[in-house]
Structure 1
């Protein structure tokens, strides 16, 4: 009987992509429900739901910062481990897995301590007002106590899908999400805990997901296992993880920086109601981007494994199909937000003024996301092939070099609506540059010696 990782190099590409991408998409959608379900319930709390929703919205940069560190270790290590599996080097893959676990544990301790101490001034800097700071502190104060569960649940799941066990990876997320959805109304309304109940439901569910991931990666069902001897950090291995992990880290962490810039600008030029629109649109953005991201993450192990095995034709086939599906996904999902924004806005609030303003902003904000599937497919392919420098540039381009400056400059000339216009401008420019860069470097990448220094050092 074939090992589950070997099918990455032998199974027909079309069927393989479906079997890998569908569970990955489901896992991503389920994962995003953690925050979105919280916000749906919070937004409908009688009497203060709109303020509570805004308060929880300004905690988003902190949640993204925590996710960024899990992406650093997980998405930095998993592609390298997949490449090593393609080369039949199981011990090398386990060395990478073990060091990633060590990094996740270290990050958890530091983040919990630092963010707990400085959460109040951080939240004010992120756009909280005197009316919303109490809700923000209540939510994030409890959430931070479960940082270790978030780090392990999200970071380790990439190593499960990276060895071809996409259904197991999906179940890891599904179990936690179901628990969260069940606990939310019980704790928020039944025990009258409000936003504290939403945070507690989230960390309990993440703890269960983390336990599931650890159990699988220490069992005989896993191709690679967590072994104590490999958890101790090794310089060369960490360097390999860092080289590849810095791009997804920046992608995630700059979401925090973007959120800070947008929320503070909206608070300055508009007020709490405008910050509330961004809280809703951040959730809608996840509903659009995350399913497509699941497709790219599902295909990524296929590209990494076959690149490591030297089967470049399968690499090409996988990429061509991925970019077609990713682009179709963003066109449809973002198109709904542009043409029928009330479908999304009505999910999160009953406030008529907030709904009206959100619909107006959404028609502008999501226009560029319609073509963003191109960038997501190209970025994921660069990452799968171990192209750390190119991935890093693309990660910096859209958010740091384009979106943040535009969000600061435009409202000075056209007012608060300039903040919303910054997003589509940054998207269109970034997609154009990324596509041109990919076309220029694609053939060069596939001609490279797969025994690159970075991969060798990660062993």
Structure 2
């Protein structure tokens, strides 16, 4: 329990660094092997294969969505319960999280493979990209359980106070994937299937490592026990209530991907879809560290919110926003000066270079404000206010972006697709700021009420 107690006593800056740095490294490693996937596919298979991988993004986003529904929801609830000193209940949440991740991911595999062909057509696959996309995503779907369980339970490792162990989880999967990418694609000429097999094997190693931590490791304060795997409807409701925000974000992202792919196909063809796949990879280079900061901040915020230490909650939030904004501003400067260089890392194809270089500078022109929006949205999730988190997250992915993707291409063609994203980023950040100001006032009131209760108890004594 000492690992959790220090979340409420040690220096916030030190804790945020300790928890975020491993998460940032893990996230960078995570995006690294996604980037390496695309580099190997681009160099070893071709530009059209990159477009095919871009078409499968809605599938992988949906798998991630269900991993977040149970995994992030469970880990946030665990942090709050540990802050309330309810260790046994935290273990029950862990057991329920594992079962939910397993059941849901198996269902995703069955449904995804069962409707694979029509879904690929719906997602924008052409006769040129269809076979590549099907070969790749069939294997990814078959291994969805490893993706969901490994990712979902890794968030609970951070809640248990072991951020370095969580980082190692990502390292194991990434290094395995990168090595196997080279072997399968470049040496064994397995093409796009090789990339998918490498990914699934890397994810399976992640899962084995995470299960080892919670079942056999002496360093874990919580244990994954069979008796806690019996589903408790109240715990499931609590997990889903908090996890619904990141789940809907990812589902919305999947809907956006489908809409964007079809719009790109209509306005720029298969090469425009390939360029978008690369732009998303470049965006993730700078946004993954931001997600790492939010993951590092989540257990600190959740624990102190549960313990009614609002000054520590606010300090952690401010530090997290400052760090995320600094990273995003740095990324913005780099993108504005070296767009062509970044695109050429993935592909030397003239069509990809031409479309991608023009699109990148527009697509991420509002990058400096995205860090604030992501951190603050996740802040509401960390304190258990799922409805607000959902509204803020969906404002960027659905309420603003989808209408922009429908309207702007009618007037500006392919440029309109790129323009939709920064307009959404800026607008949603303004909405997020309004909600944050209101919540800070509520927290101040709660803290004063808690102080008055403590004073009254002392007077009685």
Task: Give the TM-score taking structure 2 as reference length.
Answer: 0.94
Give the whole-Å Cα distance in 1 for the aligned partners of 2:444 and 2:73: 20
Which of 115, 119, 122 is 1:118 aligned to?
115
Q: How does 1:139-288 map to 2 (within 5 A)?
A: 139-218=136-215, 219-288=217-286
Check conservation: 1:306, 1:314, Cα contact below 8 A: yes
Residue of structure 1 in register with 2:6 after alignment: 7
Offset of 1:220 from its aligned partner? 2.9
Give the whole-Å Cα distance in 1 for the aligned partners of 2:72 and 2:376: 16
Offset of 1:353 from its aligned partner? 2.5
Offset of 1:441 from its aligned partner? 2.1
* 1:29-71 deviation line (CA, Å, top 9, x unaligned): 11223322111100112xx510111111110110010000000
Q: How many residues of Structure 1 are paired with residues of Structure 2 in the alignment?
A: 447
Offset of 1:104 from its aligned partner? 0.3
Give the whole-Å Cα distance in 1 for the aligned partners of 2:447 and 2:316: 20
Unaligned runs of 5+ in 2: 449-461
Offset of 1:185 from its aligned partner? 1.0
Which of 92, 97, 100 is 1:100 aligned to?
97
Residue of structure 2 in register with 1:26 after alignment: 25
* 1:146-204 deviation line (CA, Å, top 9, x unaligned): 11100111000000011220000000110111011111010112111000000000100
- After TM superposition, the structure 1 stretch with the greater mean CA deviation from structure 2, 65-74 or 225-234, is 225-234
- The answer to whether the aligner puts 1:305 opposite 2:303 as a matched pair is yes
Give the whole-Å Cα distance in 1 for the aligned partners of 2:208 and 2:276: 33
Residue of structure 1 in register with 2:77 after alignment: 80
Residue 390 to residue 415, structure 1, CA distance change in 2 (3 Å): same
Residue of structure 2 in register with 1:455 after alignment: none
Q: Give secondary structure in 2 for the equivalent of 1:38.
A: helix
Residue 224 to residue 374, structure 1, CA distance change in 2 (3 Å): same
Check conservation: 2:58, 2:253, Cα contact below 8 A: yes
- After TM superposition, the structure 1 stretch with the greater mean CA deviation from structure 2, 218-227 or 155-164, is 218-227
Offset of 1:109 from its aligned partner? 1.2
* 1:385-416 deviation line (CA, Å, top 9, x unaligned): 11111001012111111101100111111212
- After TM superposition, the structure 1 stretch with the greater mean CA deviation from structure 2, 25-34 or 289-298, is 25-34
Q: Give secondary structure in 1 for the equivalent of 2:128.
A: coil
Give the whole-Å Cα distance in 2 for the aligned partners of 1:66 and 1:448: 38
Residue of structure 2 in register with 1:335 after alignment: 333
- The answer to whether the aligner puts 1:64 opposite 2:61 as a matched pair is yes
Give the whole-Å Cα distance in 1 for the aligned partners of 2:318 and 2:361: 30
Residue of structure 1 in register with 2:459 after alignment: none
Residue of structure 1 in register with 2:293 after alignment: 295
Give the whole-Å Cα distance in 1 for the aligned partners of 2:224 and 2:59: 28
Check conservation: 1:64, 1:256, Cα contact below 8 A: yes
Give the whole-Å Cα distance in 1 for the aligned partners of 2:40 and 2:15: 38
Q: Give secondary structure in 2 for the equivalent of 1:410.
A: helix
Give the whole-Å Cα distance in 2 for the aligned partners of 1:270 and 1:447: 53
* 1:98-119 deviation line (CA, Å, top 9, x unaligned): 1111110111210111101111
Task: Give the TM-score taking structure 1 as reference length.
Answer: 0.95
Residue of structure 2 in register with 1:325 after alignment: 323
Offset of 1:338 from its aligned partner? 2.9
Give the whole-Å Cα distance in 2 for the aligned partners of 1:381 and 1:340: 33
Check conservation: 1:338, 1:364, Cα contact below 8 A: no
Q: Give secondary structure in 2 for the equivalent of 1:372.
A: helix
Q: Give secondary structure in 2 for the equivalent of 1:413.
A: helix
Check conservation: 1:76, 1:245, Cα contact below 8 A: yes
Q: Give secondary structure in 1 for the equivalent of 2:92.
A: helix
